[in-house]
Chain A
Amino acid sequence: MTGLTVTDLRVVYPGRPPVVAVDGVSIEVAPGEVVGLVGESGCGKSTLARAVCGLVAPAEGSVEFDGEPVTPLGLRRRSPGLTRVQMVFQDPYSSLHPRRRVGAQIADGTRAAARLSGADRPAPAEWLERVGLDPGAARRYPHEFSGGQRQRIAIARALAAEPGLLVGDEPISSLDASTQATVAGLMRELTVAAGAGLLFISHDLSVVRLVADRMVVMYRGRIVESGPTAQVWNGPRHPYTQALLGAVPLPDGLGTLPAAPPDDVEYPLEPVLHQ
Chain B
Amino acid sequence: MTEARRTIAGTTVLEIADLRILGPGGREILRGIDLHLVAGRIQGLAGESGSGKTMTALASLGLLPTTLRASGSIRLLGDELLGMRARQWNQVRGRRIAMVFQDPSTSLHPMLSIGAQLTDHARIHLRIGRAEARDRAAGLLARVRVPDPEGALRRYPHQFSGGQRQRIAIACALMCEPEVLIADEPTTALDVTVQAGVLRLLRGLADELGLAVLLVTHDLGVMSAVADDVAVMRAGRVEESGERHQVFTAPRSDYTRALLAALPGSAEGVETLDDVRALVAQEQGKLA
Chain A residues proximal to chain B, CB less than 8 Å: 40-41, 129, 132-134, 147, 176-182, 184-186, 188-189, 203, 205-207, 209-211, 243-244, 246-264
Contacts and interface: CB of A to CB of B under 8 A. Distances in A.
Interface in B151-165: 161-164
Contact of A210 (B220, B260, B272): B272
Interface stretch (B62-70, B172-180, B192-200): B192-200
Nearest to B251: A253
A255 B224 contact: yes
20 contacts: A132-B287, A134-B287, A177-B220, A178-B48, A178-B262, A178-B263, A179-B262, A205-B192, A206-B263, A210-B264, A211-B276, A250-B224, A250-B266, A253-B248, A255-B224, A257-B200, A257-B225, A260-B196, A263-B145, A264-B147
A176 B220 CA distance: 11
Give the interface residue-count category, chain B.
Answer: 35 or more
A184 B196 CA distance: 25
B199 A258 contact: yes
A178 B258 contact: yes
Contacts of A178: 48, 258-259, 262-263
A261 B193 contact: yes
Interface stretch (B4-12, B53-61, B135-143, B277-285): B277-285
A237 B273 CA distance: 24
Contacts of A250: 221, 224, 265-266
Contact of A251 (B49, B223, B287): B223
Given A253-B248, A255-B226, A261-B197, 19 more contacts: A40-B191, A40-B192, A41-B162, A176-B218, A178-B48, A178-B259, A181-B263, A185-B276, A249-B195, A251-B265, A252-B265, A253-B245, A253-B249, A254-B224, A255-B227, A255-B245, A256-B225, A257-B199, A257-B200
Contacts of A189: 277, 280
B203 interface: yes
Nearest to B266: A251
A249 B262 contact: no
Contacts of A262: 197
A125 to B, nearest CB: 13
A257 B203 contact: yes
Contacts of A261: 193, 196-197
Nearest to B265: A250
B267 interface: yes
A178 B245 CA distance: 20
A252 B161 contact: no
B235 interface: no
B96 interface: no
A33 to B, nearest CB: 13
B279 A181 contact: yes
Contacts of B220: 177, 251
Interface centre among B267, B280, B287 (most CB of A within 10 A): B280
B134 interface: no
Contacts of A257: 196, 199-200, 203, 225-226
A211 to B, nearest CB: 6
A147 B50 CA distance: 12
A181 B277 CA distance: 10
Interface centre among B223, B225, B245, B266 (most CB of A within 10 A): B225
B164 A263 contact: yes
Nearest to A264: B147
Contacts of B199: 249, 257-258, 260
A251 B163 contact: no
Contacts of B49: 147, 176
Contacts of B245: 253-255
Contacts of B246: 253
Interface in B58-101: none
Nearest to B280: A185
B276 A181 contact: yes
B225 A182 contact: no
Given A253-B247, A261-B193, A132 B284 contact: yes
Contacts of A180: 262
A40 B162 CA distance: 13
B202 to A, nearest CB: 10
A251 B269 contact: yes
A52 to B, nearest CB: 23
Contact of A176 (B48, B193, B280): B48
B22 interface: no
A151 B228 CA distance: 34
A247 B218 contact: no
A262 B275 CA distance: 35
A255 B225 contact: yes
Contact of A181 (B162, B219, B270): B270
